[in-house]
Copies of this chain bind each other. A is one copy, B any other.
């Protein structure tokens, strides 16, 4: 049998808690004014954005196109989607304060439907997008991706860190396709999930198929059987271990859950792939068939990370706070051995070279190119002892520590020495991120000489 989380040979004891690591690495904070809505500090936002960028880069490969959709919709939308009734307690209600009479509105405006729901999901909005244009079978599959913030009204007693929250983001995706396209879409989604989890060295994971419930379901048995057959075929072809939860599907369609076991032995449901025969019906979605008729598309909900907040919590604990280089908010710091002016200046040059910001000093700033990879390299040229500075840098979890002393000034051509500090898989990270970045080479040993430009 496969061993879960093979990269974590022996789980740290006591196990890492993402809330403590979140504080010590300045990743996020919380506030009495926003229970369940964590505030990401710059370091946390950096990791967050890296995760989003990573998925965005893959979306082109998998045919997803991103959309930007509203945060609040009128109550009538949520009634149409069924959320207002079925999701009642978990939703936030929004009203314009002006509409309540505070504002000097005309009668017409006051009479309007001014009751909104704060979205807990993106699906209804994506149905509106699909329905906003006439669709032909030639256009399908249509795949929308959305990183919008979502809100669910969890009771305050349960709120904690990044895992029990009221506000979160999903790497949400919705595929509108024909019945005959289910197999290929599910197969590609499972490949996508595998690629992502392999990149982060998470897993192995369990795939669990939930099938048609006995009594209460929409559509025909034949429709369900055909869809489930395609899911089974995709699962077989995935080469991953999978099992069945018979009859455990939602009334509106079968689904596949991805169950990850963390180093603590705790299971997490992260990615999910959910078929939906209902929403396309509620929103009366259709496309023109080759036979000059119309048909209703199937909707596939899918998320790879699931909740970005929860996925970050998992990564923080999985890496024990030491992120791989390519998503690390503290990838590198430059320390000066002395506070001699020429050493400090040289340290600053090294910082600028490694971070790719050398031209910032010029009066005439040229726009940075969009494909420029920027590494947030920090610097400490304070007059404190080198030992103190190294200790602090290690405590802060920098991946690399570069020490600059007077002797470095004499070396020609100028190079710096990088001390690699207890980090997971720099190599893979570099493959993904850094190749092509002139300042930082691939790290293979614990000491690397970097040739500085110019």
| Pair A97/B89 contact, Cβ less than 8 Å | yes
Q: Is A49 an interface residue (CB 8 A)?
A: yes
Closest chain B residue, CB of each to CB of A35:
B74
B29, B33, B61, B73: the one within 8 Å of A73 (CB): B33
| Pair A61/B370 contact, Cβ less than 8 Å | no
| Pair A42/B60 contact, Cβ less than 8 Å | no
| Pair A132/B360 contact, Cβ less than 8 Å | no
| Pair B34/A73 contact, Cβ less than 8 Å | yes
Q: Which residues of B contact A66 (CB under 8 A)?
A: 42, 45-46, 49
| Pair B128/A31 contact, Cβ less than 8 Å | yes
Given A57-B368, A74-B34, A92-B94, the answer on whether A69 and B39 have CB atoms closer than 8 Å is yes
- 28 CB-based A-B contacts, threshold 8 Å: A33-B76, A33-B128, A39-B67, A39-B70, A42-B66, A44-B68, A46-B66, A49-B66, A54-B367, A57-B368, A60-B355, A60-B356, A60-B357, A60-B368, A61-B360, A61-B368, A88-B98, A88-B102, A93-B97, A93-B100, A94-B118, A98-B155, A105-B155, A109-B156, A370-B432, A370-B433, A371-B372, A371-B437
**CA–CA, A350 and B191, complex, Å:** 25
Which A residues from 77 to 110 make CB contacts under 8 A with B? Answer: 77, 88-100, 102-103, 105, 109
Q: Is A274 an interface residue (CB 8 A)?
A: no
Q: Which residues of B contact A69 (CB under 8 A)?
A: 39-40
Give the number of copies in the complex.
2
Across the A-B interface, the 4 shortest Cβ-Cβ residue pairs: A37-B70, A42-B65, A40-B68, A89-B103
| Pair A116/B129 contact, Cβ less than 8 Å | no
| Pair B432/A357 contact, Cβ less than 8 Å | no
Closest chain B residue, CB of each to CB of A39:
B69
Q: Is A282 an interface residue (CB 8 A)?
A: no
Q: Is A435 an interface residue (CB 8 A)?
A: yes
Q: Is A322 an interface residue (CB 8 A)?
A: no
A135 CB to nearest chain B CB (Å): 13
**CA–CA, A67 and B129, complex, Å:** 29
| Pair A98/B153 contact, Cβ less than 8 Å | yes
Q: Is A72 an interface residue (CB 8 A)?
A: yes
| Pair A70/B373 contact, Cβ less than 8 Å | no
**CA–CA, A310 and B102, complex, Å:** 28
Give chain A's interface residue range (CB within 8 Å of chain B).
35 or more
Q: Is A348 an interface residue (CB 8 A)?
A: no
Q: Is A195 an interface residue (CB 8 A)?
A: yes
| Pair A433/B369 contact, Cβ less than 8 Å | yes
**CA–CA, A204 and B97, complex, Å:** 39
**CA–CA, A89 and B105, complex, Å:** 10
| Pair B97/A88 contact, Cβ less than 8 Å | yes
Q: Which residues of B contact A371 (CB under 8 A)?
A: 371-373, 433, 436-437
Given A34-B70, A66-B49, the answer on whether A129 and B29 have CB atoms closer than 8 Å is yes
**CA–CA, A91 and B330, complex, Å:** 38
Which A residues from 3 to 46 make CB contacts under 8 A with B? Answer: 26, 29, 31-34, 37-42, 44-46
Q: Which residues of B contact A243 (CB under 8 A)?
A: none
Q: Which residues of B contact A44 (CB under 8 A)?
A: 68
B95, B116, B199, B369: the one within 8 Å of A57 (CB): B369
**CA–CA, A60 and B90, complex, Å:** 39
| Pair A41/B357 contact, Cβ less than 8 Å | no
**CA–CA, A91 and B326, complex, Å:** 40
Closest chain B residue, CB of each to CB of A327:
B370
| Pair A370/B373 contact, Cβ less than 8 Å | yes
A220 CB to nearest chain B CB (Å): 30
Which A residues from 119 to 160 make CB contacts under 8 A with B? Answer: 125, 128-129, 132-133, 144, 148-149, 151, 153, 155-157
